[in-house]
Amino acid sequence: MPEAAKAREILDGVVQVYLPLPMRPSIVNVYLVRAGDRWTLIDTGMNTEDSVAAFRGALDEIGIDPHAIGRLVATHHHVDHFGTSGPYRELAHAEVYTHPLEAQAAVAIGQIPAENTAYLARHGVPVVPPDRRLPPPSRFFGTWYAPAEPDHLIADEDELPLGDGRSLQVVWTPGHTPGHCCLLLRPDGVLFVGDHLLPKITPHVGLWPGGPENPLGDFLGSHEKVQKLDAKLVCPAHGAVYEDHRRRARQLIDFHRVRKLAMLELIRRRPLTAYEVALDAFAIAADNRFQVFMATVETLAHLELLRREGRALRHEQDGVVRYQGR
Ligand SMILES: [Zn+2]
């Protein structure tokens, strides 16, 4: 049996719904915002039986008819945020709003054929036999990921009128994903931050093949940007609602500065591949292919920023890329 629905009205007409995830973090928060008798849903959770049952239970608990949800706005395309957008679009007859880069990424996830062994090997990750490689995401996620095609594409500074004097301002915050958006509810001053500004953990920021060239630079820039907003309350996708987005943004900027400097120390001693730096910088198991992959691309994001700052050099020899600190 799925757990009892958990929903909480955090202020008038803003409801936080906790949905279960089959992985860590084990909960994702989605938010319902009322305007008149219509509701807007921000993010959807993962398309598992437990999550859908919890969401339906929450709607019953609060007394919301699914058809009263007219709008579904995504912070980003990841499976725990956008995974049920297809089914909920049908259920509610809602219109889906997403940033174009997230819409593209949602389609691309279904088309990744297999582990990108060449990319990993170029950055020092040992090649393993096919049966130990990562499965394509479409096989790994299966039915958990049922993304909707968007009805509307959103862009930085767009103002989405919800009715009854409320609106959502789109704040494009690339970094965790290229088209990640925070949403500022006006006039209430409630900032829905997706994964950008989590209270306890840092989101993954990685240099993915074919993605933006300086994702950590983008992420840090997005933290400078959100500090300029006026918000009273921060609503994250994982963890509790909190105040003071500026303080948390500064902490996250600082966290990555320290991590970057630790990596710089390592590559000052001798040239290293991103994989070698990752083994030292992250507490990962070398035989856990998923951890190795995530840590290597996150390390690359830091090394590439160091290179752009003029503090590291990159050279490639015999098809392997190494970084050296200056
Ligand atoms: Zn995410």
154-199 pLDDT, tens digit per residue, is 999 999 999 999 999 999 999 999 999 999 999 999 999 999 999 9
* Under 8 Å between Cβ of 5 and 57: yes
Out of 243, 274, 305, a domain closes at 243
129 assigned to some structural domain = no
Summarize the chain as % helix, strand, coil (round to 5): 35, 25, 40
The dihedral through the CA atoms of 191, 17, 85, 96 has a sign that is: negative
Interval between CA 317 and ligand 1 midpoint (Å): 34
| DSSP helix/strand/coil, 271 | coil
- The alpha carbon of 29 and the centre of ligand 1 are apart by a number of angstroms equal to 12
Residue 264 lies in a domain: yes
Residues 227-274 have pLDDT tens digits of 999 999 999 999 999 999 999 999 999 999 999 999 999 999 999 999
What's the domain count of the chain?
2
Domain closes at, from 195, 220, 243: 243
Q: Is the pLDDT of residue 87 over 50?
A: yes
Let me know whether 158 and 298 are in one domain. Answer: no
Enter the pTM of the model: 0.95
- What is the pLDDT confidence band of residue 2, given thresholds at 50, 70 and 90? very low
Ligand 1 centroid from CA 266, angstroms: 29
The Cα 284–Cα 316 span in angstroms is 25
- 69-86 pLDDT per residue, tens: 999 999 999 999 999 999
Distance from Cα 79 to the centre of ligand 1, integer Å: 8
Beta strands in 21-104 (DSSP E): 27-35, 38-42, 69-73, 95-98
Do 161 and 301 lie in a common domain? no
Tell how far the Cα of 203 is from the centroid of ligand 1, in angstroms.
Answer: 7
CATH value at residue 13: 3.60.15.10
Question: Which ranges of 235-288 would DSSP assign to H, the alpha helix?
Answer: 245-269, 274-281
- Going from the Cα of 26 to the center of ligand 1, the distance in angstroms, rounded, reads 13
Span from the CA of 319 to the centroid of ligand 1 (angstroms):
31
Domain range spanning residue 190? 6-110+145-243
Question: Per-residue pLDDT for 144 more than 70?
Answer: yes
CA of 77 to the centre of ligand 1 (A): 7
| Domain-located, residue 119 | no
163: left (phi over 0), alpha (psi -120 to 50) or beta: left
Task: Note the pLDDT of residue 1.
Answer: 37
Distance 270 CA to ligand 1 centre (A): 34
CA–centroid distance, 76 to ligand 1, in Å, is: 7
